[in-house]
Amino acid sequence: MARYILSFACFNGFLVVALGAFGAHALEAIVDDKAMGVYETGVQYHLFHTLALLGNGLLADQYSAQKLFWIPASLFAAGIVLFAGSLYLLSVTGLSWLGAITPIGGLGFLGGWASLAWLCLSSDMRQGESPQ
């Protein structure tokens, strides 16, 4: 499970760098300052939760309940798609109804953090493999 989460985190790392570069070099000349701010917020949260996915994958390899770490990973992924994705689309298209999707993604982020904390508290470290 850990390698899939880590691979997905790496894919998102690539994607967020590409989207950030697109925003800085191409989008900035096309949209107004408000839309650019919305886009940058999407990039920030995408980056933060890409790092969360990376940490999630590294932790999954250390805990006995490794197979359950797909839960926070899925919630972080849903948050990235719904929160950051809706902000990306909102900034480019100006479709205001996309703003209603953003909080659903925020709930995904919150659920990801809560479930990750629960797994870390309720699962034992693997014997002899604890980090030093």
Q: What is the pTM of this model?
A: 0.90
pLDDT the model gives residue 10: 98
Q: How far is CA 62 from the centre of its chain?
A: 21
- The domain ranges of the chain are 2-121
56 and 73 Cβ atoms separated by less than 8 Å: yes
Interior angle at CA 100, CA 84 and CA 30, nearest 5:
55
Of the chain, the percentage scoring pLDDT greater than 70 comes to: 95
pLDDT the model gives residue 127: 57
pLDDT the model gives residue 132: 40
Which of 56, 61, 93 has its CA nearest to residue 75?
56
CA distance 132 to 33: 47
pLDDT the model gives residue 83: 98
Residue type, 101: I
Q: Which mean pLDDT values do the consecutive 10-residue runs of the chain (132 residues) have? A: 93 98 92 95 98 95 85 98 98 94 98 95 67 42
CA distance 7 to 104: 25
pLDDT the model gives residue 130: 46
pLDDT the model gives residue 5: 94
pLDDT the model gives residue 104: 98
